[in-house]
Structure 1
Amino acid sequence: MSLFKYEIFHKVAEIGSFTKAGELLGLTQSAVSHAISSLEKEFGFEMIHRSKNGLKLTTDGQIMLSAIRKVLQAQELLKQEAANINGVTKGVLRIGTFTSISTKWLPTIIQKMEQQFPGVQIKIKEGDYYEIEKMLLDGVIDCGFLNRPSSNHFQFTPIYSDRLLCIVSNKSHLYKKDLVDIKDVELEPFIMTSYNGTNDVKYILDMYNVKTNIRFELHDESAIVSMVEHGLGITILPELILSKLPMNVRAIPLAQNCYRTIGIATKQSISPATEKFINLLTDWLSKHNNNE
């Protein structure tokens, strides 16, 4: 069977459109449709249900998508290993990340990757911790930033300790403190982060048996800071996500010196491009931290 048919099916499943998938692959809509029909005929079952509302993978299609991803990953790894033997690093590198990493680290790291390894095409997919883990398990990405993995299917390398800080406005009685004891968080309304996956803030609060008065739960950190700015509560956030805070808001260290551990997670076997990325990232972080 043609690997190109697998690539076509994978792109259609990713994009959800024959026409758009064809545009990205340089094919007509008719050619894409014919390739999918040919695959379905070879396999003996329908993989994509077509209706006036669009395209949807069948249950069998979902199963085959997972298998086809593995085939395409093996093909990509084969190409990269051959190039690596010839002294060249090239191929596709797919990275799963969350907003603070995308903002603070990746622009510099990608720039360095492109300078040192111009043959590597980098693709970025954002999500929360849970989504990044799922993308890694499903083979959508080659490596991903996580706080701590819940699966033993990954290799997890800790790379950065990110302080958790108490965020308060000048309306809080904690505002003038140099350090905030984590038990003091119980005294005011709390705005909780609502990440999917392991929530570092909830984990730390549970560790110290802190009973918070949760007023709101929000996913967007900038919205949480805005709530704090308007005196609607206090919160705890990782230092890395904080940029310029409003004039009446402070980020105060916790007396317990709490932090989240950021690491890079991969499958057990990694490609040469992934290895080069991780080496460059850890080297940059080492130099970056020493210069702070």
Structure 2
Amino acid sequence: MALNNRGWRPIEQVNDRWKKNICNEHEILLTQIKELQGMQSGTIRIGTFSSVATHWLPNIIKIFKKDYPHIDFELLLGDYTEIEGWITEGRVDFGFLRLSTATELETIFLVQDRLLVVLPEDHAFAHCERFPISELCKNPFMLLEKGAKAEISEIFGQHQTSPIIHFTTWDDYAIMSMIENGLGISILPELILQRIPYNLIAKELEVPAFRNIGLAMRNQQSLSIAAKSFLHYLAYRKK
């Protein structure tokens, strides 16, 4: 910036700089007001699968709404592929997914969830310490699967095992009811098996298997202030 012969800036330049600072501060204030208003009302949209919706979200939302009672929620239930699409399209603010997922999405790892073999109580291997991989193809199998990116089929591929699939669905409770009635066995995530109304036996595979559950979003910085605040409540999910 040019100075006059006394080393002082022209009053016009000082005024322009002052006006610019005032405008910037005004913009910041308007943004803060809008964000505060956003915490008074609004909707957080979440893509999720059934076990998270059943076992995690009720407690998280309950505690969140004690602090922000006027924030509403919209839950979209789907499989991993559908949820990933909803995030990418902006249909939801974020979604619970099995990681890894699309590389362009930002993710937060939450938990490693065991995949367990589920048997009727009178099954011949009900008292084994770990369920043999070789036995998977010797029992009628109830497959919990829908769409791509399903971890159960990956287990079969890794161990070059071809199960005798008698039933395929995305309804975990239908699977458990059929197992209880002796129609076959299955592999289900441990999260699904919490507080179930069925008489079943769950066993770890002889080669333990897991799925990594996380929260995915397009960009955390672009989330609304309500959605950003919700991230701090993920620790309140029930174990």
TM tier, shorter chain?
0.7 to 0.9
Residue 263 of structure 1: how far off its partner (Å): 0.6
TM-score by length of 2: 0.77
Q: Which residue pairs with 2:196 in the alignment?
A: 244
Structure number with the higher helix fraction is: 1
Q: Which residue pairs with 1:260 in the alignment?
A: 211
Give runs of aligned pairs for residues 119-268 of structure 1, distance below 5 A.
119-148=70-99, 150-242=101-193, 243-247=195-199, 249-268=200-219
Q: Per-residue CA shift, 1:102-147, capped at 9, x if unaligned?
A: 1111111111111122343322222221221121122111010111
Q: Per-residue CA shift, 1:180-233, capped at 9, x if unaligned?
A: 133321221211112223111112222222221222212211111122122221
Alignment of 1:271 onto 2:224? yes
Q: Find the aligned partners of 1:231 and 1:98 in 2 and give their Cα distance.
A: 26
Which structure is higher in RCO with an 8 Å CA cutoff and minimum separation 6?
2
Q: Find the aligned partners of 2:53 and 2:145 in 1 and give their Cα distance.
A: 19
What percentage of residue pairs aligned between the two structures are identical? Answer: 30
* Bigger Rg over Cα: 2
The code of the aligned residue for 1:206 comes to: G
Q: Find the aligned partners of 1:212 and 1:266 in 2 and give their Cα distance.
A: 35
The answer (yes or no) to whether the contact 1:136–1:267 under 8 Å persists in 2 is yes
Residue 82 of structure 1: how far off its partner (Å): 3.4
The answer (yes or no) to whether the contact 2:115–2:188 under 8 Å persists in 1 is yes
TM-score by length of 1: 0.64
Residue 102 of structure 1 aligns to a residue whose secondary structure is helix
Residue 259 of structure 1 aligns to a residue whose secondary structure is strand
Q: Per-residue CA shift, 1:235-268, capped at 9, x if unaligned?
A: 0001111232533x21112232211111101112
Distance 1:149 1:258, change over 3 A: closer
Give runs of aligned pairs for residues 15-164 of structure 1, distance below 5 A.
82-83=32-33, 89-90=39-40, 91-148=42-99, 150-164=101-115
Structure 1 gaps of 5+ residues are 1-77
Residue 96 of structure 1 aligns to a residue whose secondary structure is strand
Distance 1:231 1:151, change over 3 A: same
